[in-house]
Amino acid sequence: MSPPRDPQRRSTILAAARQVIAEHGTGRVTHRRVAAKANVPLGSTTYYFKDLDQLVTAALDDALSHYTDTIRHWREELLTSDDLPSTLTRLTVEYLSDRATAITEFELCVAAAREPELRPLAKAWNSELYQALTQHASPTTSRAAIDLINGAMLAALWEDDGELDQRYLTDALTAVGL
């Protein structure tokens, strides 16, 4: 009776919302900013999402599903790698090239510390990489690797050139047992 809403437009809005989150942070997302970025009518941002919170949450969720695709790719690369630390470092550098996505990840991590509703999402995010790594390393090593990768990414995002310290990351991943 109610035909499905245009899924194309919905994801256009979500993509725009992800960008706004990366640029301004979750706390500064507004319907207007998202509509402008998505180039859609203002009304459609409230039409597709009950309220702003839902929109932000949906955007973070959308980011997670993109991330899942990324990790699928990582899995394949790791399977054929004969030097896990180097491969992981390379993949991290590639991932960082999309600065917006990387920042969004951290936005989610911190927002989840404040808001319980976001925690499952943040945990799922972490879990993606964790599952990929535990196929090659112990739980402790896997968790440590995730922390090291995140730490290195954050430091890279603080640099104007966005360059990640590959030497450090490779060494640290090795040290941690990978």
Partner DNA sequence: GATGAATGAGACTTCATTCAT
Partner DNA sequence: GATGAATGAAGTCTCATTCAT
Residues in contact with a copy of itself, shown as a per-residue x/- string from 90 to 129 under the rule CB under 8 A: ------------xx--xx-xxxxxx-x--x--xx--x---
Binding of a copy of itself by 148 (CB under 8 A): yes
Distance CA 82, CA 86 (A): 9
* Residue with Cβ nearer DNA (46 or 70): 46
* Residue with Cβ nearer a copy of itself (26 or 89): 26
List C-alpha distances in Å: 31 to 41, 67, 175: 10, 24, 46
The 3-state secondary structure of 62-75, one letter per residue? HHHHHHHHHHHHHH
177 binds, among a copy of itself, DNA, none (CB under 5 to 8 A by kind): a copy of itself
Binding of DNA by 11 (CB under 7 A): no
Distance CA 144, CA 142 (A): 5
**Residue 39, Cβ neighbours under 10 Å: how many?**
8
The answer to whether 35 and 27 have CB atoms below 8 angstroms apart is: no
* Residue with Cβ nearer DNA (45 or 89): 45
* Residue with Cβ nearer a copy of itself (11 or 141): 141
Binding of DNA by 73 (CB under 7 A): no
Taking alpha carbons only, the member of 65, 57, 67, 68 closest to residue 17 is: 57
The answer to whether 109 and 170 have CB atoms below 8 angstroms apart is: no
Residues in contact with a copy of itself, shown as a per-residue x/- string from 10 to 29 under the rule CB under 8 A: ------------xxxxxxx-
Binding of DNA by 31 (CB under 7 A): yes
6 binds, among a copy of itself, DNA, none (CB under 5 to 8 A by kind): DNA
Binding of DNA by 32 (CB under 7 A): yes
Taking alpha carbons only, the member of 2, 13, 114 closest to residue 58 is: 13
Binding of DNA by 9 (CB under 7 A): yes
